Homo-oligomer: A and B are copies of this chain.
Amino acid sequence: MVPGPWSIEWAGRLDELAVESDVLRDNPLGDPHRRPVWVYLPPDYEESERRYPSIYVIQGMTGQIDMWRNRSAFRRNFPELVDELFADGDVPPAIVVFVDCWTSYGGSQFLDSPGTGRYHTYLCEEVVPFVDERYRTLADREHRGIAGKSSGGYGAMVTPMLRSDLFAGLATHAGDALFECCYPLEFPRVARALRDKYEGSYERFWEDFRSRPALSQKYDPELVNAYCMAACYSANEDGSIDLPFDTATGELLPEVWERWLAWDPVRMAPRYAEALRSMRAIYIDAGTRDQYYLDLGAEAFRRVLEELGITDVFFELFDGTHMQIEYRYPIAIRYLSERLQ
């Protein structure tokens, strides 16, 4: 039988902090620039004086930091799993940093965009120094990794490509990749929903969306997701957003779509080959029944790495979907921690 389901005996410690961000001040969506950060310290942190590798953990679309505490029936949540992992003396200890890049469109893809804000810079230039200043981290790229699922897996792939001076390890669980296999499948549904319910107007959708319980209507997920991705991948300098499809028909607009593809990890990899070759740890997984076909994206990312001569990677397609796969995350944390000691 399951013991007390409400909590665990913590072996380590979870600090809740906040970063007063400069780069997010005046972000285009008016989202908060004071942002929560959680820092997990492994069991021996307080007694020892050693320094530790650090692993940054980022969330999927619509994720906000307090969701890490969401309880699924009969399960441990991710911070608890992290503590259980490091309570096991067999796993080399690391500091785990929980970062929040939520926006009112649902997310930021951990990029800088005039459509959402400078979340890439926030993460790299503000959160990393903030943590390194306050905790005994091994404060260099060789001992720093990043991990996430879904859009968080996306961020975990692209952030180290862009900033290999900061990160030498990455772990992607079902990360957005091979864009033609995940995003365009939603565009026809968006076009249809706009036609049938919102007179073809995204403005009307947002108006409606904000007037009622969020995500309670059938097409809400696609409508929010396509818009948010456009805000991340194809916003213009003035903050306006170009959609990669004709909202009346779903017809792909090649010029905008190319701007999206430029951000596809599978297409980015060759341009960032050196950065990727310098990684000390690359972990890739996805469920074979992933609703967004991100298992195909995982395989495509693995293949492009292989073409670049990068074969020392962890790779697994497991039996599962896109949902409730938090039990996979400790496998990656262990992998990163071992490699980044």
Q: Which residues of A contact B (CB under 8 A)?
A: 1-7, 29-32, 36, 62, 64-67, 69-75, 100, 102, 104, 106, 178, 180-181, 184-185, 187-189, 191-192, 196, 210, 213-216, 248-252, 266, 288, 293, 295-297, 299-300, 303, 320, 324, 327
The 7 closest A-B pairs by CB, nearest first: A74-B214, A62-B73, A188-B293, A1-B104, A249-B300, A181-B188, A70-B70
Q: Whose C-beta in chain B lies nearest to the C-beta of A300?
A: B249
Are the CB atoms of A192 and B293 closer together than 8 Å? yes
Chain B residues with CB under 8 Å of A32's CB are 3-4
Interface of chain A, main secondary structure = loop
Q: Whose C-beta in chain B lies nearest to the C-beta of A62?
A: B73
Residue among A5, A288, A295 with max Cβ neighbours from chain B (10 Å): A5
**A180-B62 in contact given A6-B36, A188-B293, A213-B327 (Cβ < 8 Å):** no
Are the CB atoms of B251 and A215 closer together than 8 Å? no
Contact of A299 among B64, B248, B266, B293 (CB under 8 A): B248
Are the CB atoms of B71 and A6 closer together than 8 Å? no
In the assembled complex, the Cα of A164 lies from the Cα of B235 at a distance in Å of 44
Chain B residues with CB under 8 Å of A65's CB are 6
Q: Whose C-beta in chain B lies nearest to the C-beta of A75?
A: B214
Are the CB atoms of A288 and B196 closer together than 8 Å? yes
Chain B residues with CB under 8 Å of A31's CB are 1
Q: Whose C-beta in chain B lies nearest to the C-beta of A293?
A: B188
Chain B residues with CB under 8 Å of A252's CB are 180
Are the CB atoms of A184 and B180 closer together than 8 Å? yes
Report 7 cross-chain contacts, Cβ distance below 8 Å, ordered by A residue.
A5-B64, A5-B104, A67-B71, A181-B191, A181-B249, A213-B327, A251-B266
In the assembled complex, the Cα of A249 lies from the Cα of B29 at a distance in Å of 36
**A213-B64 in contact given A1-B29, A29-B1, A69-B69 (Cβ < 8 Å):** no
